[in-house]
Amino acid sequence: MTKLFGTDGIRGVANIEPMTTETALRVGRAAGYIFLRDDRRHRVLIGKDTRLSGYMLESALVAGICSMGVDVLVVGPLPTPGVAYILRSLRADAGIMISASHNPYEDNGIKFFSPGGFKLADDVEREMERLLSSGEIDSIRPTAGHVGKAFRIDDAVGRYIEFVKATFPKGMTLEGVKVVADCANGALYKVAPRVLEELGATVIPMAVEPNGENINADCGSQCPERMMEKTREVGADLGLSFDGDGDRVVMSDAKGQLVDGDCQMAISGLDLATSGDLAENTVVATVMSNVGLDVALEEANVAVERTPVGDRYVVERMLDGGFNLGGEKSGHIVFLDHNTTGDGMIAALQLLAIMSRRDTELAELAKCFQPFPQILVNVRTAKRQDPESLQGFKEKVAKLEKVLGPHGRIVVRASGTEPMIRIMAEGRDEDKTKQVVDELAEHVRAEIGEDG
C-alpha cells in the first residue's frame, strides 16, 4: 500500500482512492484496533463538514470501527476544533474529522485526533498504514454482542458553542460591534453567527447555506475578497472568513484590508506579552510566515520559533517548548490555553477581545505588523529531488541571503505531493528579492531540468 497520510491526515478526491468507502472502512478497522487499550468498551467520535461525500465516508468509517468491537459517537457537521473539544468532553478514546479543510467540495479527507485532542503522532499514522498493508487485522472479527454500536450526539453543536463563548472574557460583550461572518458554507455555518450574536454583536452572515457542493466555493478563507468588500460596504467593524472545517480564519478591518494569520499572531503575541501571559515570551510559526512577524515581535523581546509547514508541527513544538501561542500565515491560530488545535472562532474572539479592551479599531492594531516583500516561485521539475542535494546549492543560498540584507531569508523546499521545488525569499527590497528567487529558480532548472 502506498503512503496514505500527508501533512494533515488522508486527503484526496472523494470516491477515488484513497478517499473511497472501501478504504475508509479499512481505515476505520485499523483505527478501531489501534485505539483498543484494554477490555473496557471503547468509543471513537466522528464529525464532518458539509461536503456531500461526507455521508458515505462517515457510514464506511462507522462500519469499520464497529466491526472491531468499538462504539462510535456520531456528531454530524461540526468544526474540526469542535471535534477536538467534544472528544475530550466525552472522554472518547479518539476523534475523527471528515473534511478536506479549504479544498473544493470534490475533495475530502480523514483527520485523526488522540484522546487528548491532538493530531496523531507520525509513528501512530505509520502503524495504521502498516496494519492496512499487512492484513494483520483481517481475521479479527468480533461477533454477537461484542460488535460496536453507533450513537448520535445531538447536542454537540450547542456544547461547542458554549465552550467557545467561555473563552471570551467574562463581563465583556460585543454590544455595538458589527461583524461580517463568512462561514464558507462549511462546518461553522450555524456556530459562528450564534456565538457572535449571543455575545451581543450585530452579525451580517455570508455563505451560511450549505448544499453539499458549495463549501469554499468563491467564499471562505481562500477567497476573502467578497467578505472584505462587504465589510467596507456595510460599515462593519471587522470581517471574518473561515475555512470549510472552521480551524482557520482570516480577517478584514473596517476599511476592507486583509488581516492574515501572521498579523493576527503579531497582535495577539504583543498583547499577551504586555499582560505577561505569553508563555516563554515566544510565538511559534512555520517557515512560511513572513519575517515581518519576527520584526514586529522582537521589539517587545518576543522570540519566534519556526517549524515545517503544517499546524500539527506548530502544536508539537508548542507542547515541547511549553508555548501557548502559535499558528500559520493561512489563519490557523492555536491558543493552547483554550483548545488543542487551530480554532477559527477562538482566534476571532481573542482579536475582538483585544479590540474591545483597548477600545481600538483593528486597522490600528494591525499597524504593528509590516510584512516584508515576499516572492514565491514554484519550479515544476523533470523529477523529484531534494534541492539541498544539488551541487553548490547550499553555498548559493547562503550567498544570496547576504544580498537580501538583515532579516532577509530564503526558504527552498520540495513539494511533498508532486515533482516541484518551491522557492520563497523575503527582503526589504522587492527588486532584489525577485532577482534572488529568479537566480535560484534558474539554478534548479539547470541542475534538474524543468518539466514541460
67 noted as active-site residue? no
Give the span between the Cα atoms of 16 and 20, in whole angstroms: 6
Distance from first CA to last CA of the chain, Å, rounded?
30
Number of C-beta neighbours around residue 214 at 10 A: 18
Say if CB 378 and CB 422 are below 8 A apart. yes
The three cell numbers of residue 61 are 468509517
Report the relative pairing of strands 178-182 and 202-206 from DSSP bridges.
parallel
Of the residues 53, 99, 101, 268, only one is catalytic, namely: 101
Give the span between the Cα atoms of 45 and 117, in whole angstroms: 11
Q: Catalytic residues, which ones?
A: 101
